[in-house]
Chains A and B, each alone.
Chain A
């Protein structure tokens, strides 16, 4: 299988590369899920990963914080670097890596704890606050950035699971950014939400771009078009095409991309 090589300079205008995948292969047991993926993720951009279900986009996303490590029988080959450092290197500490790479999941998954404790969880295990006042600051700031503060400021002690779906997802985003990650991975963050909640999250993603680098897996082409600057199209474990979002949607080079965005496959 000839890997589709995407020269870094063809994607980028000027943003420096935050993360880079080079010739990444992923296997589940004997089955190969990803084949020779090369992708550059530019800083302070939203990069969306699209493609039909089962194409490997979520698997690829989970390589960036090594969440695949906890899946039995999963094997990752090739190299992924963040700021030029190989995160699959032998001496790489997974725990520290995950503190730098946040993740938001498909279904909102707040801990069965209070709203405050949900956000404080990460900072607490990493010892980021020396005292209660600092912790309060982190929690308030994270909730503010996640655009949730107005809705929850009077009930920080009530359980996070009592919020609406959209609020829960924003709580999960607040929880992720409280650890001050550099890269945030989002795995179809709106798939379980209604259109209004989705719009809020999309708005939030656009804002977060100023402080974080974001990768987002989405099954909705419209969403990719709305929130991302760059898009990578996956098909059957291959990275078919990647480039500026506008270019992918208006002028796809590959026939498979064309077929997908016009709705003939997927």
Chain B
């Protein structure tokens, strides 16, 4: 009779069988786990390969230099693949300029607002105020971009146009200003929550040192806290810029398709993302340069945002290491 308390005999048949059975299902499960975590890499590889592959096909038809440095963008001329001169004009500079203009307006809006909101929340507001306002600001980040697009196209743009008319300034109803402003609102929480993080991670010892020397709160913030947090704030801005450049719906709905090369915020411009969507919606032959151009634009977008993100993450990581 086996007592319950008898030691488990590791060499017994039952024990070996159980171990074998365990190995039988644990092995495949383990493999499945590895495969799942590799999927993230596979996705990246998929993105890179599909963008590269289609872009190379595009550059077989349109020279790379024409694309990167050309000043005229009118893919619409390529009506049929067999037409003479069907390649259209694929000079992407107006798109890059438009993207930069709108992103710049967005950053000029969101940068100061987000930074000062972060300063207020982390250095001035009491705990109760912070507990109410922080989640409210985060709502801004949770609102779908199509809602911002609606707001930009149906409310802000007409308002700006009318205000411009009132003051005698011609503001297009698809102005870069409207899209940029609303995009700025959208990225406020990115700037504010990241800045808030870095500002609160500045060691309290520095604040106390400054206060103990008779500095006021604002002097301590602007002369000690902010310079110490600068790398983190810079990377917050980089991440926000990357968001702005990659944002699609707001510009699709509010910026329109006219590829003007201008720095005038009241004029209509188009962006890389708008053109990607524009080139791909509607029935298109997959091999036409028009469709392939979307992939070339996507490649540029991917590379630029990736560079911004990697730089930002590096800076933040270095910064964290410094104070942890």
Contact = CB atoms under 8 A, between A and B. Distances in A.
Interface of A: 65, 67, 70, 72, 95-103, 105, 107, 109-113, 121-122, 125-126, 172, 175-176, 179, 185
B205 A122 contact: no
A122 B213 contact: yes
B227 interface: yes
B209 interface: yes
B214 A67 contact: no
A125 B219 CA distance: 8
B205 A98 contact: no
B214 A122 contact: yes
A163 to B, nearest CB: 15
B208 A105 contact: yes
Given A121-B223, A125-B219, A125-B223, A111 B214 contact: no
Interface string B217-232: 0010001100110000
A105 B228 contact: no
Contact of B208 (A101, A109, A110, A122): A109
Interface string B71-88: 000000000000000000
Contacts of A101: 212
Contact of B209 (A72, A109, A125): A109
Nearest to A73: B127
A3 to B, nearest CB: 28
A70 B214 contact: no
A105 B214 contact: no
B223 A98 contact: no
A67 B208 contact: yes
Tell which of A95, A102, A126 has the most Cβ of chain B within 10 Å: A95
Interface of B: 126-127, 203, 205-216, 219, 223-224, 227-228
A179 B213 contact: yes
A95 B216 contact: yes
A125 B215 CA distance: 7
Tell which of A100, A111, A185 has the most Cβ of chain B within 10 Å: A111
A65 B127 contact: no
B205 A105 contact: yes
A223 to B, nearest CB: 21
Contact of B228 (A65, A102, A112, A185): A112
Given A109-B205, A125-B219, A99 B127 contact: no
B201 to A, nearest CB: 13
Contacts of B216: 95, 125
A98 B213 contact: yes
Chain B interface, DSSP helix/strand/loop, else mixed: helix
Contacts of A70: 207-208, 211
Contact of A109 (B206, B219, B223): B206
A96 B228 CA distance: 25
B214 A95 contact: yes
B119 to A, nearest CB: 16
Given A111-B224, A112-B228, A98 B203 contact: no
A211 to B, nearest CB: 17
Nearest to A99: B214
Tell which of A70, A105, A112, A176 has the most Cβ of chain B within 10 Å: A112
A235 B213 CA distance: 29
Contacts of A67: 208, 211-212
Contact of A175 (B127, B211, B213): B213
Contacts of A102: 212-213
A113 B215 CA distance: 16
B213 A176 contact: yes
A102 B210 CA distance: 11
A176 B219 contact: no
B214 A179 contact: yes
Contact of A125 (B126, B206, B214): B214
A153 B11 CA distance: 76
Given A100-B214, A122-B215, 13 more contacts: A70-B211, A97-B214, A98-B214, A110-B209, A111-B210, A113-B227, A121-B210, A121-B223, A121-B224, A125-B213, A125-B223, A176-B213, A179-B213
Contacts of B126: 72
Given A72-B127, A112-B227, A125-B223, A107 B205 contact: yes
B318 to A, nearest CB: 13
A101 B212 CA distance: 8
A165 to B, nearest CB: 14
23 contacts: A70-B207, A72-B127, A95-B216, A96-B214, A97-B214, A98-B213, A99-B214, A100-B214, A101-B212, A102-B213, A103-B212, A105-B205, A105-B208, A109-B205, A109-B209, A121-B213, A122-B213, A125-B216, A125-B223, A172-B209, A176-B212, A176-B213, A185-B212
B41 to A, nearest CB: 38
Contacts of A103: 208-209, 212
Contacts of B209: 103, 105, 109-111, 172, 175
